[in-house]
Every structure is written in structure tokens, then in C-alpha cells.
Amino acid sequence: MGGKRYPRAIKEWPEGERPRERLLKHGPQQLTTAELLGILCRTGVRGQSAVDLGRELLQTFGGLRGLSAADAHDLRAVKGLGSAKIAELQAALELGRRSLSEAKQIKGKVESSEDVHAFLLPEMRDLKKEVFRVLLLNGQNEIVDVRTASEGSLTESPVYPREIMQMANRHHAAALIVAHNHPSGNPKPSATDKTITEELVFAGKIMRVKVLDHVIIGDDRYFSFADAGLIAEYERAYDRRRGVRHD
């Protein structure tokens, strides 16, 4: 008899081929990404196994990174994904991001913009809206806390230097580094970014909280105000206004 064979449900597969059983016996490293997603999805839809659904998700969103950036509305467009499956997928993907962030956590002092970029990239690179983070540091430039100052839209996130300085004082921070993402992927600072950074440096001078840097996270790229010499430039501008001479 000819014709295309219909796909069978995973529970009807030979036990040695079932993803869950193979994972438990041989470890998750032995499974394909589609099979791991299939375990999360648990069931497929008519004519499509859970693993097939995993493959469709990877194809639809261009791989795990695209899937990780997808929101609930995007996922609901995929046949076979209800609220429960979407919640489980998003929870698993968020755990993956947090695990990567923990692996990148800075040990000891913050020594460069590269440290900050490596620390924040996993959780900030694929955000669909601008989010402004504040790294609060002690006198040895060690991170004592990371706070979210604001969450905005696709193109901007409202930031108020006074509130950031109040946050630093509440946590007894001696210095801070601010960072935000550009959902466009281009980390080039806008005029607004420059104005906010200058205001933060001025406020830090007044409150005696050192603003070490402002890092803009893009798509595997970043911009550092400190590396570009702008933090030092703003500090000199403040001193000139105060009549402080630099010989």
C-alpha cells in the first residue's frame, strides 16, 4: 500500500526513541534542540508530534535566540501552543537566560566596560523595549546590587538622574554604572543618551557618588561612555562650571 505514512504520537514510538526516556538514560546533551522543545511542549497537534512542533518553533522564530525573544502574542500564533505550553516555554527560556547571566557574573571588582557588557548581555540583548539598569558598587568597585531604573518603549526609557542618585544613597553605594539596551541592535548613543549621562555625572558630583560608565547594549556590540572619553569630558565640564581648574 502506497501513500505517505502518518506521523505517530511520541507515546507510540519505541521506548528507545522517545525523547524523555533518552534524556533520562543518556542526558540532555544527547537530544536535539527540537527534541528538548518537544519535551517542554509534551504534546503536539493532529498530524504533528511534539518534536515536530519543536522543529516548527525553531523554523518560525529562526532558532533559540529568536524563540527566546518572542512574546506570548507571537507564540499564540503557532498552532498547538496554548497558555500552559507558552508559560512553560517562557519559563524554561528565562531560566536559561538567568543561568547564562550567573555564569557571567563578575567576580571581585568591575574592571572594564567589557565586564559590564558580558554581565548584562544575556538578559538585555534581545529585549524588545528599552530597559535601564543601575549597577551599584561599593568603595572597591564590587557590585552590591543591580536595580532596574526604568522600562520604556521600543525607542526610549524615561530616566531621572535624581531617582538614580536616591537609589544609590539608599544602598550606600560609593559608585555606580548605568546601562541600557537599544532594541534596534545599534549601540550608538543618541543625543538624549548623552544628555542623560552628562546629567548623571553632574548629579554624582553633587552627591559624591562616582558615575564610572554608561554602557549601551546592542546586538553583540556595545558602546561605553567611559571608553569614548565622554565621562571624563562631562566631569571636566562640571568642574569648569564650578570654577575648578585642571593644570
CATH 3.30.420 given to domain 10-101: no
| Listed range (36-45, 164-173, 180-189) with the worst mean pLDDT | 36-45
What is the residue-wise DSSP string for 67-132? HHH--HHHHHTSTT--HHHHHHHHHHHHHHHHHHHHHTPPPSB---HHHHHHHHHHHHTT-SS-EE
The CATH code belonging to domain 107-241 is: 3.40.140.10
- pLDDT single digits (tens) 3-47: 544 345 556 566 667 778 888 888 888 888 888 888 888 887 777
CATH 3.40.140.10 in the chain: give the residue spans: 107-241
DSSP H or E segment with residue 181: strand 175-181
For the chain, percent of residues with pLDDT exceeding 70: 86
Per-residue pLDDT, averaged over 85-113, amounts to 75
Is residue 65 very low, low, confident or very high in pLDDT (cuts 50, 70, 90)? confident
Close Cβ partners of 125 (under 8 Å, ≥ 6 residues apart): 181, 217, 218, 219, 220
Q: 19-33, 45-59, 122-136, 179-193 — which one is most confidently predicted on average?
A: 179-193
Mean pLDDT of 125-152: 89
Give pLDDT, residue 192: 92
Instruction: Give span(s): CATH 1.10.150, the chain.
Output: 10-101
109, pLDDT greater than 80: no
What angle do helix axes 161-170 and 191-207 make, rounded to 10 degrees? Answer: 40
